[in-house]
Amino acid sequence: MFDFYQKRKLRSLVNSRYTQGVLLLLVFLVGWSAFVRFQIAEEMSDRRELAAQEAALLRTQKDALQEQVDYLSNERGIEAEMRRQFDVALEGEQVVVIVEPETGPEIQPLSTSTQETTAWYQFWR
Distances (CA, A) of 80 to 61, 76, 92: 22, 6, 17
- For the chain, give the longest Cα–Cα distance: 128
CA dihedral 80, 85, 90, 94 (to 10 degrees): 100
- Assign 46 a pLDDT band (cuts: 50, 70, 90): very high
Question: What pLDDT shows up at residue 111?
Answer: 63
Amino acid of residue 77: G
Q: Report the C-alpha gap between 69 and 88 in whole angstroms.
A: 22
Say if CB 125 and CB 118 are below 8 A apart: yes
Confidence check: pLDDT of 26 > 60: yes
Q: Report the C-alpha gap between 39 and 6 in whole angstroms.
A: 45
Query: What is this structure's pTM?
Result: 0.47
Confidence check: pLDDT of 122 > 80: no
Q: Report the C-alpha gap between 70 and 81 in whole angstroms.
A: 13
| Chain segment 63-118, per-residue pLDDT in tens | 999 999 999 999 999 988 888 888 787 888 877 778 888 777 777 766 655 556 66
Q: Report the C-alpha gap between 22 and 20 in whole angstroms.
A: 5
Say if CB 89 and CB 95 are below 8 A apart: yes
What's the chain's Rg over C-alpha atoms? 43
Mean pLDDT of 13-33: 94
